[in-house]
Structure 1
Amino acid sequence: MITRTAVVAAKTGLHARPAALFAKAAGEAGVPVQISVADKDPVAANSLLQLMTLGVERGDTVTLHAEDGADAALDALVELLETDFDA
């Protein structure tokens, strides 16, 4: 299992449009990816509904989890999370 951390840059956190874009990208990553924040249990990163339940706000640090060998996929998802879509 490998992990990556990212600080969420989107002004609205992982809500609405940023969450939808992230869930779509996670679904296209080719490997199952989970995301967690603080002391909440990890959820499927490709599930918009599950992402919304995390309540991630701008500036929160999230952790991505995937099987070994998914380094490139996680790196791309981190880059997406650290992008402010409204800038």
Structure 2
Amino acid sequence: MIKKTVEVKIENGLHARPAGELVKRLKDFKSDVYFLNGQNKVNLKSILQIMATSVRENDVIEIIAEGADESDALACVESFLQKRI
């Protein structure tokens, strides 16, 4: 398991379009990838869970990846959240 704290740079946060794009990018990874929202784990492979959190631009979140390709999955999420789209 690896963790990293990341600041979200996506304009207007993780609304439907970027949430869908992130889910699409993560579908081929074997690792479980999620972030913590209070005490809850939010599955980053679930568009519904992502959208229910209302993550906004400049929010700081902790990303966690567990599995065989966890480093690559975490790097994918980090680079995605750092882009201004």
Same fold (TM over 0.5): yes
Q: CA RMSD in A?
A: 1.5
Question: What stretches of structure 1 move > 4 A for 4+ residues in a row?
Answer: none
Q: CA deviation at 1:30?
A: 2.4
State whether residues 31 and 67 of structure 2, in contact with CA within 8 Å, keep that contact through their aligned partners in structure 1.
Answer: no
TM-score by length of 2: 0.86
Structure 2 unaligned segments of length 5 or more: list them. Answer: none
Q: CA deviation at 1:71?
A: 1.2
1:76 corresponds in structure 2 to 76
Any idea what SS the aligned residue of 2:52 has?
helix
1:26 corresponds in structure 2 to 26
Q: 1:40 to 1:56 in 2, by over 3 A?
A: farther
Give, in whole Å, the separation in 2 of the partners of 1:10 and 1:71: 22
TM-score by length of 1: 0.84
Report the count of equivalent residues: 84
Structure with bigger strand share is 2
1:64 corresponds in structure 2 to 63
